[in-house]
């Protein structure tokens, strides 16, 4: 029951700040000015903002980013996404993503209106991925889909302390590949303005690498994601 309440609270917060972000995207997609580098034939195009929460080694992180892609058909879309670390939801190594989000509504309250007061991290992390999504149910107001991502993440910690190079003892970084499979629930506010909310399982293809910092050897995790996007057919 607590997790159902948490999902409802988190969902309502997502709706509030997503309306603000959608205004800028709407003006870009539906501008009367057109330009292109490559002309492609597609059933439609989409672009949006992305938020992903998941366990990351000993902490739980909040990442934000965007994506662009095309609808190959009304039910199938392909695109690219990117995201970067925004902050920490929890430093408790025993917390999963559900515990961390539920705890963030406690004391002190980490939410203020449209914004999240996240704890800063002492490392950096960014991802880029190829995305596939298939809509199993594509109704006029609601839908649900399955999503698959194949991506790469880059982790960095420490400080670069001189202009000529990196101090090995101070700065460490590595890249890894991952894949994820999930499901999402889609709300169509209009034909062109949509939002999805879902859960996925991430698989770290380079897990248990002993060259990684202690605690960050394995990035397998369950993630909660929120996607707001505009569609133009």
What is the tens place of the pLDDT at every residue in 203-224? 999 888 888 888 899 999 999 9
Q: Is the dihedral of CA 88, 91, 97, 102 positive or negative?
A: negative
Q: What is the mean pLDDT of residues 108-133?
A: 80
pTM: 0.77
Q: What is the mean pLDDT of residues 87-95?
A: 88
Q: Is the dihedral of CA 133, 78, 180, 23 positive or negative?
A: negative
What is the tens place of the pLDDT at every residue in 147-186? 999 999 999 988 766 665 555 557 788 999 999 999 999 9
Pair 48, 17: CB distance under 8 Å: no
What local confidence, expressed as pLDDT, does residue 31 receive?
45
Alpha-carbon dihedral of residues 193, 194, 195, 200, nearest 10 degrees? -140
Q: What is the mean pLDDT of residues 64-71?
A: 92
Alpha carbons 101 and 95: distance in angstroms, whole number = 9
Pair 181, 214: CB distance under 8 Å: no
- The more confidently predicted of residues 142 and 103 is 142
Question: Assign residue 208 a region: left if phi > 0, alpha if psi is -120 to 50, beta otherwise?
Answer: left
Pair 54, 61: CB distance under 8 Å: yes
What local confidence, expressed as pLDDT, does residue 155 receive?
94
pLDDT band of residue 197 (cuts 50, 70, 90) is very high
Q: Which domains does the chain have, with CATH numbers?
A: 2-32+44-232 (2.40.160.20)
The structure tokens 């939801």 sit at 89
Pair 70, 229: CB distance under 8 Å: no
What number of helices (H) and strands (E) belong to the chain? 2, 10
pLDDT band of residue 130 (cuts 50, 70, 90) is very high
Residue 24 has pLDDT above 50, yes or no: no
């Amino acid at each position: 029951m607590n997790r159902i309440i948490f999902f409802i609270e988190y969902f309502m917060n997502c709706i509030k700040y997503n309306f603000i972000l959608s205004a800028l995207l709407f003006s870009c997609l539906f501008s009367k000015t057109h330009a292109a580098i490559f002309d492609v034939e597609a059933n439609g195009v989409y672009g949006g903002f992305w938020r992903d929460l998941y366990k990351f080694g000993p902490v739980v992180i909040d990442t934000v980013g965007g994506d662009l892609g095309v609808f190959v058909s009304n039910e199938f879309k392909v695109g690219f996404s990117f995201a970067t670390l925004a902050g920490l939801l929890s430093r408790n190594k025993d917390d999963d993503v559900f515990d961390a989000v539920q705890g963030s509504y406690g004391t002190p309250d980490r939410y203020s209106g449209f914004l999240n007061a996240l704890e800063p991290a002492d490392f950096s992390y960014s991802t880029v991925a190829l995305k596939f999504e298939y809509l199993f149910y594509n109704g006029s107001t609601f839908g649900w889909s399955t999503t698959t991502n194949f991506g790469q993440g880059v982790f960095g910690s420490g400080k670069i302390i001189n202009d000529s190079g990196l101090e090995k003892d101070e700065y460490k970084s590595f890249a890894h590949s991952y894949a994820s499979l999930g499901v999402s629930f889609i709300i169509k506010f209009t034909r062109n303005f949509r939002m999805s909310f879902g859960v996925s399982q991430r698989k770290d293809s380079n897990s248990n690498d002993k060259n990684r910092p202690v605690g960050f050897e394995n990035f397998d995790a369950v993630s909660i994601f929120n996607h707001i996007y505009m569609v133009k057919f």
